[in-house]
Amino acid sequence: MRWLPNWAGATALGLVIGLGTARAQPLVDPPLDRFTIARLHYGGGGDWYNDPSIIPNLLRFIREHTGMSTADDEVRLTLDDDRLFSCPFLFATGHGRIDFTEREGQRLRTYLENGGFLYVDDDYGMDRYFREAIKKVFPDKELVELPASHPIYHIVFDFPNGLPKIHEHDGKPAQGFGIFHEGRLVVYYTYETNISDGWADPDVHGDPEPIREAALKMGTNIVIYALTH
């Protein structure tokens, strides 16, 4: 049974094919009437709320560059929130500990197996904790690195070398990992790049404009890929 509304995928596919001529239709289940990104308020003590400008900026960029109808801001929810199953795209970031209870892990797995998508961006310091937490959701699956040829790197904007490097952190190469369910990418995790920091207002991190643009383009790819697959 697919619990999530179908409007998001159909709309995004029309945008990719029709160069922005389509408009999103309302979600079947209120309170959301335009596409938005749901920021996950997770447990464990990490700063799930950091950089409040990132999602509004990405939503605006998507709207301006694809014609997709987007909200002006994020919605924030926990895994126990009933709105979870009306939100096709779930996002989490932070610097530290992230943890799921057994119930939260089960709800997240149900959400993902029935059409939902989770994007997690390590804002430095989350990696160890996220890898432990996601094992509570999918103890039978592994995070696998996506090759540069994967469509997520090419669906709207082309990244021939794969995931762009936004912040240095430990100086390691940027890596994008995924978890698949029945052949569909349901979890995408970015490490050693911090894509979402590049969505922030220019004065927050002082990123040069080409870096910010690359981050926003990659964020657009992630959203459009999630809504069409």
**Burial environment of residue 12 by CB neighbours within 10 A (0 to 12, 13 to 18, 19 or more):** buried
Residue 4 has pLDDT above 90, yes or no: no
CA–centroid distance for 73 within its chain:
14
Percentage of the chain beyond pLDDT 70 is 86
Domain covering 7-228, topology = Rossmann fold (3.40.50)
pLDDT 10s digits, 173-226 = 999 999 999 999 999 999 999 999 999 999 887 889 999 999 999 999 999 999
Residue 25 has pLDDT above 60, yes or no: no
In angstroms and rounded to an integer, the radius of gyration of the C-alpha atoms of the chain is 16
Confidence (pLDDT) at 210:
95
pLDDT 10s digits, 48-81 = 998 899 999 999 999 999 999 999 999 999 999 9
- pLDDT band at residue 28 under the 50/70/90 scheme: very low
- Amino acid at the residue 224: I
d(CA 33, CA 46) in angstroms, rounded, equals: 30
Which range (26-35, 46-55, 102-111) has the least confidence? 26-35
Phi, psi of 224 (to 5 degrees): -65, -40
Residue 98 has pLDDT above 50, yes or no: yes
In this prediction, residues 117-137 reach a mean pLDDT of 95
The pTM of the full predicted model, rounded to 2 decimals, is 0.88
Helix (H) or strand (E) holding 217: helix 209-228
- pLDDT band at residue 32 under the 50/70/90 scheme: low
pLDDT, averaged across the chain: 87
d(CA 93, CA 213) in angstroms, rounded, equals: 19
Max avg pLDDT among 7-16, 165-174, 177-186: 177-186
Residue 15 has pLDDT above 70, yes or no: no
Confidence (pLDDT) at 141:
97
Confidence (pLDDT) at 29:
37
Of 153 and 172, the structure prediction assigns the larger pLDDT to: 153
**Burial environment of residue 72 by CB neighbours within 10 A (0 to 12, 13 to 18, 19 or more):** exposed
Of 18 and 131, the structure prediction assigns the larger pLDDT to: 131
Residue 12 has pLDDT above 90, yes or no: no
